């Protein structure tokens, strides 16, 4: 968002003045966005209500999709299904954080360990994990354990690689300076390497959330006997696009909200050096 | 970087580690002696055999080679479509503020959302064939290309634009001679990330729409408890994916060798 205005030093602004300027700036910035979203919904509604009866099933209007979402929560048990996806996802994700960060740091500190582990990390990082989901169903069943494993595998390599990048990119000057003043390796590690790596780690943690969500969504779609997959299958077989679309919209919104939450946490924990820190996907 | 010797030692360590890992996996699988833990040797033989139809249980119409080919044809179509529309939309949004504000709510939302959730909807609209796959893969790849192109256009150095303007350059000249060349490294990053996502899109659409090709091969293996087959297909997809990414990286180095470092916009 653009800055709402300039306050000179010593100049006091009243509360409603501040809010007023902020609101104006916000409105100026976002009018077109609201217009765009609003008109898209109107167009969607108009197009769906003008659809001839035969094809109406292929383009349910926003009001029908909304009704289907309510129905999914009330009678199909979408709430429990979402929770049943969220809990293993978070378990896998936190396990990935708890394992990925230390592993990344160890790899970043010791070149030998890095060389020893990185073939696996890089190999699994590019491996099509989706294609492995059927194998994971054999190994872990279709329940909690399997979903947690999928979320873990989808997210852990991002965290390892980003932590590794952060640890390796510690500026040598700082380390040398500290060393020439007699700092111990542990001091250097704690006071220079780790703070330097934190923004990278947070980028990894954020991207990993996105990946964990992707993993769990695919797992849910592939397992159509329980959970969200079952609800989608029920709607699909009844030829009810409003339900399928509604569930998809709920999942996507959930994904966006979770990613946004992690982004917010990232800005809170490591607001410095946000830009350069990134290791791209 | 540090001379040949160090390089050799490091790669020797990597190879040693890989051999150790594969050896341990092989031994573990032989000791456990269940089909649930196939060793690397079995996976490799299965992979080789999967390229002829006899290798795959339940007699499918396609061997792995044909299935890969028919999976990657829609990918090429979708990727080329995503490249063309993604770059043009990104540039359009980058040079026109109003356009950016009109489109970015949708693009940011779809960029952050798990696209795979839309696959059942796409099946509804486009069926189980070629079109549905193209649409899914397109949706997987296009947003990262748009977002990176937009970043590249927006990061045009103001100094250059002002300089050109003060010498009387037209808007068109500035766009074609300053904005777009400056955006090329970013665009290439987008294209590289896009091909990775497109490969993922292929796998997701093949698995969920499992009526032909890779999807049916994997479900045939699953039906016969052939984990070695599942792993073999994954390895094959991985190799193709790596080759494709390598191709785009090659293209990237060819088209935008300058400013390779530090231009990346994170996913």
Per-residue model confidence as pLDDT tens digits over B155-186: 888 888 889 989 988 888 998 888 988 888 88
- B261 within domain boundaries: no
pLDDT at A246: 93
Judgement on whether residues B29 and B45 belong to the same structural domain of the protein: no
Any idea of the CA torsion for A137, A156, A255, B205, to the nearest 10 degrees?
-50
- Average pLDDT of B203-229? 86
pLDDT at A280: 45
Judgement on whether residues B20 and B134 belong to the same structural domain of the protein: no
Residues 6+ apart with CB under 8 A from A7: A13
Alpha helices in A56-180 (DSSP H): 62-74, 78-109, 111-126, 129-140, 144-168, 172-180
Judgement on whether residues B226 and B148 belong to the same structural domain of the protein: yes
- B266 within domain boundaries: no
- B249 within domain boundaries: yes
The fold of the A67-269 domain, in CATH, is: MetI-like fold (1.10.3720)
CB atoms inside a 10 Å sphere around CB A122:
14
Per-residue model confidence as pLDDT tens digits over B75-111: 999 999 999 999 999 999 999 888 999 998 999 899 9
Of B68, B21, B38, B133, the residue nearest A123 (C-alpha):
B21
Would the CB atoms of A36 and B18 count as touching at under 8 Å? no
Domain ranges of chain A: 1-50, 67-269
* Mean residue pLDDT across chain B: 86
**Cα separation of A163 and A155, whole Å?**
13
What is the value of pTM for the model shown?
0.85
Judgement on whether residues B129 and B210 belong to the same structural domain of the protein: yes
Judgement on whether residues B192 and B155 belong to the same structural domain of the protein: yes
Judgement on whether residues B114 and B149 belong to the same structural domain of the protein: yes
| Total length of chain B | 267
Would the CB atoms of B17 and A119 count as touching at under 8 Å? yes
Q: Which domain holds residue B1?
A: 1-33
pLDDT above 70 (res A209)? yes
* Residue A89 Cα to chain centre, angstroms: 11
pLDDT above 70 (res B60)? no
> What is the domain-level CATH number for residue B75?
1.10.3720.10
CA distances from B43 to A78, A150, B55, B56 (A): 39, 21, 12, 13
- Find out whether B143 and B110 touch, Cβ atoms under 8 Å: yes
Which two structure tokens, joined as six digits, stand for A49?
A: 């209500």
pLDDT at A71: 92
pLDDT at B3: 47
Which residues on A lie below 8 Å from B22 (Cβ)?
none
What's the longest Cα–Cα distance across chain B?
78
Judgement on whether residues B168 and B198 belong to the same structural domain of the protein: yes
- Find out whether A66 and A124 touch, Cβ atoms under 8 Å: no
Looking at residue B225, what DSSP letter applies?
T
Judgement on whether residues B130 and B217 belong to the same structural domain of the protein: yes
Which pLDDT band holds residue A266 (cuts at 50, 70, 90)?
confident
- Find out whether B235 and B47 touch, Cβ atoms under 8 Å: yes
Of A124, A50, A100, the residue nearest A201 (C-alpha):
A100
Judgement on whether residues B63 and B162 belong to the same structural domain of the protein: yes
Which pLDDT band holds residue B226 (cuts at 50, 70, 90)?
confident
- B264 within domain boundaries: no
CA angle B98, B103, B107 (to 5 degrees): 145
Judgement on whether residues B22 and B54 belong to the same structural domain of the protein: no
Judgement on whether residues B16 and B90 belong to the same structural domain of the protein: no
Within the 214-233 window of chain A, which residues sit less than 8 Å (CB to CB) from chain B?
Answer: 214, 217-218, 221-222, 232
**Cα separation of A177 and A181, whole Å?**
6
Would the CB atoms of A221 and B18 count as touching at under 8 Å? no
Of chain B, the end-to-end C-alpha distance in Å amounts to 28
Instruction: Count how many domains chain B has.
Output: 2
Question: How many CA within 13 A on the CB side of residue B82?
Answer: 32
- Find out whether A104 and A159 touch, Cβ atoms under 8 Å: yes
Per-residue model confidence as pLDDT tens digits over B2-50: 445 555 778 888 889 999 999 999 998 888 877 788 889 889 988 888 8
Judgement on whether residues B67 and B161 belong to the same structural domain of the protein: yes
Which residues on B lie below 8 Å from A132 (Cβ)?
230-231, 234
Per-residue model confidence as pLDDT tens digits over B227-248: 888 999 999 999 998 899 889 8
Which two structure tokens, joined as six digits, stand for B194?
A: 């896009």
Residue from B2, B37, B64, B113 whose CB has the most chain A CBs within 10 Å, to mutate:
B113
């Amino acid at each position: 968002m653009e800055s709402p205005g300039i306050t000179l030093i010593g100049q006091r602004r009243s509360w409603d003045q501040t809010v007023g300027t902020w609101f104006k700036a916000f409105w100026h910035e976002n009018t077109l966005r609201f217009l765009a979203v609003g008109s898209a919904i109107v167009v969607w509604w108009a197009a769906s209500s003008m659809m001839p009866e035969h094809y109406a099933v292929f383009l349910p209007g926003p009001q029908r999709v909304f009704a289907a979402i309510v129905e999914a929560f009330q009678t199909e048990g979408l709430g429990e299904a979402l929770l049943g996806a969220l809990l293993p996802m978070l378990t896998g994700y936190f396990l990935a954080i708890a394992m990925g960060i230390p592993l990344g740091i160890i790899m970043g500190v010791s070149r030998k360990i890095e060389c020893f582990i990185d073939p696996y990390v890089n190999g699994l990082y590019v491996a099509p994990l989706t294609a492995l989901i059927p194998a994971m169903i054999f190994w872990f069943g279709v329940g909690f354990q399997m979903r947690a494993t999928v979320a873990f595998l989808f997210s852990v390599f991002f965290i390892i690689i980003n932590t590794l990048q952060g640890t390796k990119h510690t500026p040598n000057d700082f380390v040398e300076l500290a060393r020439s003043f007699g700092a111990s390796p542990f001091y250097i590690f704690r006071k220079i390497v780790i703070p330097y790596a934190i923004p990278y780690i947070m980028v990894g943690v954020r991207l990993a959330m996105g990946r964990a969500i992707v993993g769990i969504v695919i797992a849910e779609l592939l397992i159509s006997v329980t959970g969200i997959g079952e609800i989608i299958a029920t709607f699909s077989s009844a030829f009810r696009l409003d339900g399928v679309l509604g569930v998809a919209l709920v999942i996507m919104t959930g994904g966006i909200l979770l990613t946004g939450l992690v982004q917010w946490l990232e800005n809170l924990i490591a607001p410095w050096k946000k830009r350069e820190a990134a290791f791209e996907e | 970087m540090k001379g040949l010797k160090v390089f050799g030692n490091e790669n020797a360590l990597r190879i040693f580690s890989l051999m150790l890992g594969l050896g341990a996996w092989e031994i573990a699988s032989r000791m456990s002696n269940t089909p649930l833990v196939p060793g690397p040797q079995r996976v490799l033989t299965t992979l080789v055999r999967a390229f002829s139809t006899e290798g795959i249980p339940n007699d499918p119409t396609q061997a792995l080679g044909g299935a890969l080919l028919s999976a990657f044809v829609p990918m090429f179509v979708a990727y080329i479509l995503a490249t063309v529309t993604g770059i043009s939309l990104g540039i359009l949004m980058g040079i026109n503020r109003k356009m950016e504000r009109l489109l970015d709510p949708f693009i940011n939302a779809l960029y952050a959302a798990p696209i795979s959730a839309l696959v059942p909807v796409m099946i509804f609209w486009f069926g189980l064939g070629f079109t549905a796959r193209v649409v899914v893969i397109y949706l997987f790849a296009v947003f990262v290309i748009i977002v990176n192109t937009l970043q590249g256009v927006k990061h045009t150095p103001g100094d250059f634009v002002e300089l050109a303007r003060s010498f009387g350059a037209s808007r068109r000249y500035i766009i074609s001679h300053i904005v777009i060349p400056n955006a090329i490294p970013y665009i290439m990053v987008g294209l590289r990330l896009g091909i990775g996502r497109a490969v993922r899109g292929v796998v997701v659409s093949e698995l969920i729409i499992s009526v032909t090709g890779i999807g049916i091969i994997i479900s045939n293996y699953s039906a016969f408890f052939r984990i070695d087959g599942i792993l073999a297909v994954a390895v094959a997809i991985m190799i193709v994916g790596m080759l494709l990414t390598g191709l785009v990286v090659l293209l990237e180095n060819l088209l935008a060798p300058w400013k390779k470092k530090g231009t990346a916009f994170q996913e």
